[in-house]
Structure 1
């Protein structure tokens, strides 16, 4: 069964994963709670499993792509003996505590567990733009790596199974922060009649320019030194942040996106770090 693989869960992402496996020449078995979702894949050469048990028995590598970890638990319920020796690759988005629980359970079933985070939309799967984070059993990753390459670039992060989930959520946090900032900015500009298209011509190059400071911020964060060679100190930047919040209110725009940034900046200022770079706000985010 060197190139066999089963995909359990055929939503938009699971279907994209199965299609990529078929395109790469893998013998692919598929299962979904609603059987008709497998029809197009079967027409392309996939084998339809009638039960989860059959899907797991068909392959040595099992890919799970389900709605949430409750669905993972329900799908694998009472399948302990059938999981022995299998490599389970769970690409369901979840929290670190959920990952730890399922990893412990599967270890007890003598299965080999890999958790994964998909950094792509369904249409990107199989393209050079898609990449997948993996963590968990190094042996399992080595065993399944060639088949998993069908999805996109693979990044193995280490043996701790929660590494992929934490990095997945962290990357999504950066993405949603960018989207949220853009949407708030566009709403604020729109309050004086600037169209989103017109504002894009200003905000796109501005964000691209601001991205160039991230390597400097990363060095400051790793060293813990936010006070060296400061380009724009927090005391000055906090005035702008507070003005954004106040202007949003006066323009009828909900400032909820910016209020946490204002609170964290004020917390950092209260600690006496007004002369530091704004990167120091990360220290206010961390639990002490």
Structure 2
């Protein structure tokens, strides 16, 4: 058999492998009917972190398949007053764009709102609409049983907490400043040592959406404090309680934002590949976006496989999928497009197959991901 015939046979074999893999993936995706999507999921999510850029990304996360039970109605703020909230006292520490939006929402809902900011000029617009400005953070904390902390970062939180240590006993602190799970747990220990209850929260959305269902606040920490103040917190928008561990809300936030970044950087590399071949990236994206509606079911099935350790052939067996990887890597290399992720996938597939698990699916690669450093 001459070299040309060998090359032709190899190409035909590769083509058949590609078709089998693509067919397996297509069947898997097409087997998921849009009608099976959880309520509130949208087939084509809108893609809409400083606090401003975090809001942009987390708005995308909010709208792209998070399993929260509320809907996304009008962005009109909730301005109605209720007997439950009228006259209630609350303090907001920190009046950046987000802190100001939070304070303004409380004022609009009839709360007696005390505000404090290191730069006092930031308090003036809130005073004009009915808030009371406190000269010090400690005096602001002393004014209310519930204190919402919304500052730039963890360092600012540490500084402000140190300044209010003598005033927090008997209060509930709700800290919605961005930070890690470890920081949330440290803040909870500090609060407990100073006689206060602690709820940690994160913000998934932009300041204009505070007070509407277009923003999400995951919370965690003291269950007693959360139950007591849930009606007040619900004033801010969609809320969800993730348990007693004060770090749980930060885990939820970090994981959802990380998921988005991982997805989006991969998307940008794919666009680079499409453009390198001279094709329209916008037209490609419109077609690709049509497949997103089926991914919630696929992701849920993969998560269940990871949880149980029982790995079925989700996208087809690894034996079939792996045969496609050389073509994927070669295509990228030929176009000068980064192939690090494809090489990682191929390495994991090859190792999994070598260990005798070629009949399992893509989710089984989880078993080979490196342990925590």
TMscore range, shorter length = 0.7 to 0.9
Q: Distance between the aligned counterparts of 1:275 and 1:141, measured in 2? A: 47
Return the offset for 1:110.
0.6
Corresponding residue number in structure 2 for 1:25: 110
Q: Work out whether 1:69 is the aligned partner of 2:69.
A: no
Is the 2:314–2:363 contact (alpha carbons within 8 Å) kept by the matching residues of 1?
A: no
Q: Distance between the aligned counterparts of 1:70 and 1:116, measured in 2? A: 17
Corresponding residue number in structure 2 for 1:12: 97
Q: Work out whether 1:89 is the aligned partner of 2:206.
A: no
Return the offset for 1:61.
0.8
Change (3 A) 1:275 1:111: same
Structure 1, unaligned stretches of length 5 or more?
none
* Structure 1 SS opposite 2:263: helix
Change (3 A) 1:126 1:248: farther
Q: Distance between the aligned counterparts of 1:203 and 1:38, measured in 2? A: 47
Q: Distance between the aligned counterparts of 2:199 and 2:273, measured in 1? A: 44
Which of 331, 334, 337 is the matching residue for 1:247? Answer: 331
Corresponding residue number in structure 2 for 1:274: 358
Change (3 A) 1:249 1:216: same
Q: Distance between the aligned counterparts of 2:233 and 2:147, measured in 1? A: 11
Q: 4+ residue runs of structure 1 moved beyond 6 angstroms?
A: none
Corresponding residue number in structure 2 for 1:181: 266
Is the 1:8–1:52 contact (alpha carbons within 8 Å) kept by the matching residues of 2?
A: yes
Is the 1:248–1:254 contact (alpha carbons within 8 Å) kept by the matching residues of 2?
A: yes
Is the 1:180–1:257 contact (alpha carbons within 8 Å) kept by the matching residues of 2?
A: no
Q: Which moved more, 1:172-181 or 1:146-155?
A: 172-181
Is the 2:138–2:166 contact (alpha carbons within 8 Å) kept by the matching residues of 1?
A: no
Q: Distance between the aligned counterparts of 2:351 and 2:195, measured in 1? A: 48
Corresponding residue number in structure 1 for 2:3: none
| TM-score between the two structures when normalised by the length of structure 1 | 0.88
Is the 2:91–2:147 contact (alpha carbons within 8 Å) kept by the matching residues of 1?
A: yes
Return the offset for 1:218.
2.7
Structure 2, unaligned stretches of length 5 or more?
1-84
Q: Distance between the aligned counterparts of 1:241 and 1:75, measured in 2? A: 53
Return the offset for 1:230.
4.3
Deviations 1:48-92 (A, max 9, x none): 222211221121111112222111101111432211111000111
**Structure of greater relative contact order (alpha carbons < 8 Å, 6+ residues apart):** 2
Corresponding residue number in structure 2 for 1:151: 236
| TM-score between the two structures when normalised by the length of structure 2 | 0.69
Return the offset for 1:225.
0.4
Q: Work out whether 1:113 is the aligned partner of 2:235.
A: no
Return the offset for 1:189.
1.3
Deviations 1:100-133 (A, max 9, x none): 2111111100110001122223233222132211
Aligned residues: 287
Q: How does 1:211-230 map to 2 (within 5 A)?
A: 211-227=296-312, 230=314
